[in-house]
Structure 1
């Protein structure tokens, strides 16, 4: 019987902070749509589309640089500060009078989120060391996102009946401040030491280099394209398909979105059990296959009952791909590089969405829903096939490899790679001084780092 990660008070407080912040963000999503309608009327869709593109730009471009900049800062201070900054931005939204102000504030909000999310995700494995507990923690985190997708719009609809939608922004401000207060109560582990002479630009690119040099992570990136292709079809075109193609009311749009969240929640609950039977690779590829087939079945122009089933299956497949991601990243890098690698995943995965969002909208508007279903389904199917080829079938964490003789200078402790003489001036470990590595052949868990620059 695996003890729940919620039994650890540190994780419990961090998870509560995540849930509360996500719930507030969901309220702002609804309120922002209503604000855009107030300011732009029939052009609200265009306003929200551009704002969503700005969000993706913030995630893709800003995240690696923020991660590099804050790498040496105390994590708790960083998380609290970013929560407070997000609260300040949302607090200004009720007083917006121009569309450009929406763009500016949405961009700023997501710049701070682009810093918060990877640091938050990279902190969890420092707290939950047990593999099975960590898998459950990942499932809970996925569940939190799904609950936000399901419950926040429903809560927003109920609240709007009682108050002006601008109050939703104030509730989100309160949610971010409560999240910050919960993070303050947590004492986070000290980060591993990093080389002090590494430049900002090297730190900013380190996570991307590790990510793209690791075969399983390249496979993961292609699977992120599967998720983005299906997700963009669902998010962008559900309202058009249900309201225009099927001629149904708004309640059916809400049910379609709820179907995705319901499927994802079910899979998130099941992932800890699935991963005891299957590898991450098999689980995620099966999820990609479910997504691809579901989108391609949209070519049959399904009635609403069938559409709900397809959207439910997309939710299942999405969760099968995304829930194990944290575990995969943790196993694929050194602890010192974990924030940078999580930031790389955050940035690169959102680059897929940056491609998929406008493509889904353009295909649906220019060529119709069947074409959108077909093209995005084929992109998803092609991406699953590529992931299966890129990600080694027998993916081993421990690999035999050879080190050539090398002399360099960096922060280190005396582990199996550092067995050398001292002259008495080097100081306590970890320390930095010029040292030589002799040629060596051995086996251990392999990740890309200073001593392993290439995959064997």
Structure 2
């Protein structure tokens, strides 16, 4: 897997990703302490609102940026977003009012919503080989999991020698280092083409391509399944450990580490698996494992007993395994489903639509956990996961192929295009199929 780091451009981008993630993790811890410093007992409400603002920014901003990102110099754009995030982090220690937190969080997360899908869409052009790209996806998954484990520990260590305001300085340094690493490499520019139509059509072009592609409709359903399972972990771990199990707060990281450990294990093993098997069976299996893990969690919460804590950790580990197996290959589907000029818009669509799923499942997990208890909440989220799995199984054909034979209308402007790929008839040919101006609709017989 580490062989892809021999590519200097990717190595610098990967390091930029890790450093920015650690900086973001430090900011998350510092923001919680800042909210408590300002709002006291109402800090939970402040953080809940900040999380909602984050998701609204992700869902609303990403498609707008994706519509025009392929027309902008990638390196300058990514550096600008890092600098905006650094500027917000510099401002946060000086906040004295709750409304100021909300405004700065919206700006920070809007910059992240612009940075992340553009960054993700750049990697396939840096690593065009499918095997290399698969390994890069696994490394990216490992980076996210490591951040969830390392950032809280690093923050705890730093807080022994500095105040929480100092954590924001770490965030600033992270974003500045990320910008410096991006500046240090030359990035391939996507082959930009001027898209016809209104601003509305350009803004939603990525989502339109996404929803007209069967495998991506399946991916969206699997995003829902993954959001349901991960929301149970992210939202209710602390409640389950401290309220239901009556264990100390120091045990919460162990539970989150069990989830992250399962995810990391699969990220290490997945590249070799995907070298031999297609994406669809692996991702559907991952969703099935998540559903089984949630049902197991319902049983553990109902039965209880002396072994509830180790059973709970094993459940979280299993859900982490399924989550990584479902999420990691998603970038391969996006790469296969969009031509280079449309890739930023399609990655932005994935970013926006997947976070729309979390926008639904986060409050669902929180409200159900508080109102009906842990065991029924496990059951409801397992049902949502199974629903996503079934929709994906139905929407994503088992016979999914990259190259499809298809016909075109007998129109003069299509004659040159018909010479591309393998000609199969007067008005038909076969090639790697993506939704674009020549192919507005997926072939009906596929």
Q: For this structure pair, what is the TM-score category when the shorter chain's length is used for normalisation?
A: over 0.9
| Counterpart position of 1:446 | 433
Q: Given the alignment of the two structures, is residue 122 of structure 1 paired with residue 141 of structure 2, yes or no?
A: no
Assess, with a 3 A threshold, how the Cα gap between structure 1 residues 84 and 417 changes in structure 2: closer, same or farther.
farther
3-state DSSP of counterpart to 2:189: coil
Q: Given the alignment of the two structures, is residue 348 of structure 1 paired with residue 347 of structure 2, yes or no?
A: no
| Counterpart position of 1:383 | 388
Q: How does 1:388-403 map to 2 (within 5 A)?
A: 388-403=393-408
* Cα distance in 2 for residues equivalent to 1:203 and 1:3: 38
Q: Given the alignment of the two structures, is residue 291 of structure 1 paired with residue 278 of structure 2, yes or no?
A: no
| Counterpart position of 1:435 | none
| Counterpart position of 1:364 | 369
* Cα distance in 2 for residues equivalent to 1:24 and 1:3: 23
* Cα distance in 1 for residues equivalent to 2:294 and 2:363: 17
| Counterpart position of 2:339 | 334
| Counterpart position of 2:183 | 184
3-state DSSP of counterpart to 1:176: helix
* Cα distance in 1 for residues equivalent to 2:87 and 2:256: 30
Given the two structures, how large is their TM-score scaled by the length of structure 1? 0.92
| Counterpart position of 1:236 | 235
1:273-321 CA-partner distances (Å, limit 9, x unpaired):
1102221000100000000110111112151111111111111111111
Greater shift, 339-348 or 298-307, is seen at 298-307
Gaps of 5+ in 1: 420-437
| Counterpart position of 1:422 | none
1:46-73 CA-partner distances (Å, limit 9, x unpaired):
1111111110100011110022233311
Structure 1 position 367, deviation (Å): 1.1
* Cα distance in 1 for residues equivalent to 2:283 and 2:195: 37
Gaps of 5+ in 2: none
* Cα distance in 2 for residues equivalent to 1:176 and 1:48: 22
Structure 1 position 405, deviation (Å): 2.0
| Counterpart position of 1:144 | 143
* Cα distance in 2 for residues equivalent to 1:417 and 1:237: 56
1:90-125 CA-partner distances (Å, limit 9, x unpaired):
111111111111111111100000000000000001
3-state DSSP of counterpart to 2:247: coil
Structure 1 position 195, deviation (Å): 2.3
Structure 1 position 397, deviation (Å): 1.0
More helix by share: 2
| Counterpart position of 2:327 | 322
* Cα distance in 2 for residues equivalent to 1:418 and 1:17: 38
Is this contact kept in 1: 2:66–2:349, CA < 8 A?
A: no
* Residue correspondences, number: 434
| Counterpart position of 1:155 | 154
| Counterpart position of 1:428 | none
| Counterpart position of 1:374 | 379
* Cα distance in 2 for residues equivalent to 1:37 and 1:247: 23
Is this contact kept in 1: 2:85–2:175, CA < 8 A?
A: yes
Given the two structures, how large is their TM-score scaled by the length of structure 2? 0.94
Is this contact kept in 2: 1:398–1:446, CA < 8 A?
A: yes
Q: Given the alignment of the two structures, is residue 63 of structure 1 paired with residue 68 of structure 2, yes or no?
A: no
Is this contact kept in 1: 2:418–2:428, CA < 8 A?
A: no
3-state DSSP of counterpart to 2:71: coil
Assess, with a 3 A threshold, how the Cα gap between structure 1 residues 452 and 46 changes in structure 2: closer, same or farther.
same
Q: CA RMSD in A?
A: 1.8
| Counterpart position of 1:455 | 442
Is this contact kept in 1: 2:67–2:206, CA < 8 A?
A: no
| Counterpart position of 1:248 | 247
Greater shift, 298-307 or 7-16, is seen at 298-307
* Cα distance in 2 for residues equivalent to 1:361 and 1:269: 31
Q: How does 1:183-332 map to 2 (within 5 A)?
A: 183-195=182-194, 197-300=196-299, 301=301, 302=304, 303-332=308-337
1:17-39 CA-partner distances (Å, limit 9, x unpaired):
00000011011111111111111
* Cα distance in 2 for residues equivalent to 1:76 and 1:125: 15
Structure 1 position 40, deviation (Å): 1.4
* Cα distance in 2 for residues equivalent to 1:347 and 1:368: 30
* Cα distance in 2 for residues equivalent to 1:197 and 1:345: 22
